[in-house]
Amino acid sequence: MLDAKITGLINEQINKEWYSAYLYLDIYSYYTDKNLNGFGNWFYVQAQEERDHAMLFVKYLLNNDEQVALTDVQASTKKFAAFEEPLEATLAHERIVTASINNIYDAAYSLKDFRTMQFLDWFVKEQGEEEKNATDLIKRFDLFGSDAKGLYLLDSELAARIYAPPTLVI
Ligand code: FEO
């Protein structure tokens, strides 16, 4: 059993993770439509990871005999006018998700909910990686993206990203 505040925040987080999956599916569609299939692949994998995050939070609630309350997932309304914009939107979004995870952690800390803190440790680390990945993508785009050959090679590199299930097992 968890404190009602923690259950509520985790239910909200489930929606945020599904929204992240939607956002990245939208970015996948954007790049694939532009024939940047490697960029598209990178975001397709990212959307799969976000779905996994949502599932982990669902499982955590159920493992603790708490109710899962699924809510409507908003579609992304972002419009992109340049290839770099989705990358910047990704970094901005991941920073928001980091703040949200930290907020749950803070609530768990206040309630001495050590179990939830331990569960969230994986997400705290994951958010560090997510922000770094988004930052690296922007830096690489800045270095190579303005030249057609560089963009082609970067796209080829991103095509190699392969989906791997989360290392967190609960
Ligand atoms: Fe589920 Fe991109 O954090």
Q: Residue 60 and residue 57: Cα distance in Å, rounded?
A: 5
Rounded distance from Cα 96 to ligand 1 centre (Å): 10
What's the rounded Cα separation, in Å, for the pair 127 and 110?
21
- CA quadruple 134, 135, 136, 141: dihedral positive or negative? positive
Give me the pLDDT at residue 72, please: 98
Nearest to 68 by CA among 13, 11, 131: 11
- C-alpha distances (whole Å) from 1 to each of 104, 113, 117 are 16, 10, 14
Global pTM value: 0.97
Dig out the tokens for 132 from the structure: 């770094």
Q: Which two tokens stand for residue 92?
A: 């901005």
Which atom of ligand 1 is nearest to 16's Cα?
A: 1
Taking the CA of residue 127 as reference, the ligand 1 atom at the shortest distance is 3
Which CATH superfamily is 4-158 part of? Ferritin, core subunit, four-helix bundle (1.20.1260.10)
List the chain pLDDT tens, one digit each, 170 residues: 999 999 999 999 999 999 999 999 999 999 999 999 999 999 999 999 999 999 999 999 999 999 999 999 999 999 999 999 999 999 999 999 999 999 999 999 999 999 999 999 999 999 999 999 999 999 999 999 999 999 999 999 999 999 999 999 98
Cβ neighbours, 10 Å, residue 153: 13
